[in-house]
Amino acid sequence: MPEETPRPNIVLWSLLLAALPAWLGLDAVSVAPNRIVPGSGHSAAEVAGLPGLVASLVPALAVLWLAWRPTRERLRLALGLVVAMLAALPAWLALAAAELVDPALPQARMGIGGGVWVGLFLLLLALIELRTRLTLSRPLGWALLLVPLASLALCLSLWLEPLALRREYAGRSQQFLAAIGEHLLLVGSAVGLSLVIGVGLALAMRRWPRARELGFAVLNFLQTIPSLALFGLLLAPLAWLSARVDWLAALGVSGIGWAPALLALVGYSLLPMVRNTYVALEEVDPGVVDAARGMGMSRGQVFRQVRLPLALPVILEGIRITSVQAIGLTAVAALIGAGGLGTFIFQGLGQAAMDLVLLGALPILVMALAADALLGALTDLLRPGGAT
């Protein structure tokens, strides 16, 4: 089709126009001689000097220019530039580290400042916008992210040792891996348990309509209790139980630790799980079910071959919501000694060490995004009759 000159892409313009002052005005990095002393901030101009600053602005201005008349080819070019900028960011940090951190001080560290965070965030949004405009598939969008990630991995292993985040990690790499394991285990078992219980409850509600209102009332109520309060509420009964029942104590159940965390997580996960499963099974086209029975399928066959497959995308949607929610909530569970990445967040908050907080928060963010993306893709895959 003949391409008319399209209107300027407002989204890209807003994103980049917001990124530029942040990059120019906010501290890009901060440097401290050791962990105790607060760092001193440095702007992007200080790091690379005027030529470096200009060099860093060129691709951004080019994207602005391309977004003014966003034809497909120009948007593709802009996409390339955004990916390149994302990939250049770790390299730029490595440069800053070499420039600013005194190699003679083994404890010296460099923190990432507001300028870089804002830039990173806005560039990622620009990437999403471009992916949507160019109607690239979800997997391709994720594949594009691999380029900056590879660059990050390379820079981390070679030059970014002074990065505060990395220093925090180096001090507790064992703990870090263990925390990720605990976090995943808690989330996995909470989602798994609530899936089993939730499907059971949804089936029971379908069979006994009386149970439905009561069930949803209880689950809705559970959802409204703040998570810390729920942990607190579970403390006494669980402590009492573990004191009375030997095998529970042997399992490690007590008022604090993984047991109340798991219980609370399951409690919160049940509502989205039950609601989605129930609605999914209930909303299968009655005409289809009528035909299935009229053709002579048994109740079991109708359920397994018709109702369940047609409900599956919506049930998966429930699993997706539950997983993302549980990944976040598990962070709070660290407060009652359940372990997981939340441990770093609360330690960091206690020690006013923001980089330690980040060490806990960033992987949680990545996990949530990954769970969202994976389960979302799976849902699309399972839509009846192939892709919609």
Partner 1 sequence: MIDLIHVTKRFGATTAVDDISLSVAQGELCVLVGTSGCGKSTTLRMINRLIEHSDGEIHIDGQQIRAFREETLRRRMGYAIQSTGLFPHWTVARNIGLVPRLLKWPQARIRERVEELMTLLGLPVSEFADKYPRQLSGGQAQRVGVARALAADPDILLMDEPFGALDPITRETLQEELRALQGRLHKTIVFVTHDMDEALRLADRLVVMDQGRIKQQGHPLELLREPADAFVESLLGGEDRGLKEAALLPVSERMLPLSPRLLARERVAHDASLREALSIMLWRHAERLTVVDDEDLPIGELSLRRLVGAKAHE
The residue ranges that bind partner 1 (CB under 8 A) are: 285, 287-298, 301, 306, 309-310, 384-386
β-strand pairing of 109-112 with 40-43: unpaired
Task: Name the minimum Å distance from CB 284 to partner 1.
Answer: 10
As given in the structure block, the two tokens for residue 116 are 């870089």
CB nearer partner 1, residue 158 or residue 295: 295
Q: Count the neighbouring beta carbons within 10 Å of the beta carbon of residue 239.
A: 16
Angle (CA) 44-45-46 rounded to 5° is 90
Q: Count the neighbouring beta carbons within 10 Å of the beta carbon of residue 116.
A: 21
Is the distance from CB of 227 to CB of 332 less than 8 angstroms? yes
Q: Which one, of 225, 222, 212, 327, lies nearest residue 267 by Cα? A: 222
Cα distances (Å, whole numbers) of residue 125 to 62, 120, 132, 254: 17, 9, 11, 44
CB nearer partner 1, residue 71 or residue 298: 298
Task: Name the minimum Å distance from CB 214 to partner 1.
Answer: 25
Task: Name the minimum Å distance from CB 289 to partner 1.
Answer: 8
Task: Name the minimum Å distance from CB 387 to partner 1.
Answer: 10
CB nearer partner 1, residue 310 or residue 319: 310
Task: Name the minimum Å distance from CB 301 to partner 1.
Answer: 8
CB nearer partner 1, residue 316 or residue 334: 316
CB nearer partner 1, residue 150 or residue 291: 291
Task: Name the minimum Å distance from CB 304 to partner 1.
Answer: 12
Q: What are phi and psi of 2, to 5 degrees?
A: -70, 130
As given in the structure block, the two tokens for residue 53 are 């600053």
Task: Name the minimum Å distance from CB 279 to partner 1.
Answer: 17
Is the distance from CB of 184 to CB of 339 less than 8 angstroms? no
How far apart are the two ends of the chain, measured CA to CA in Å?
25
CB nearer partner 1, residue 250 or residue 295: 295
Q: Which residues pair with 27 in a beta bridge?
A: 43
CB nearer partner 1, residue 196 or residue 291: 291
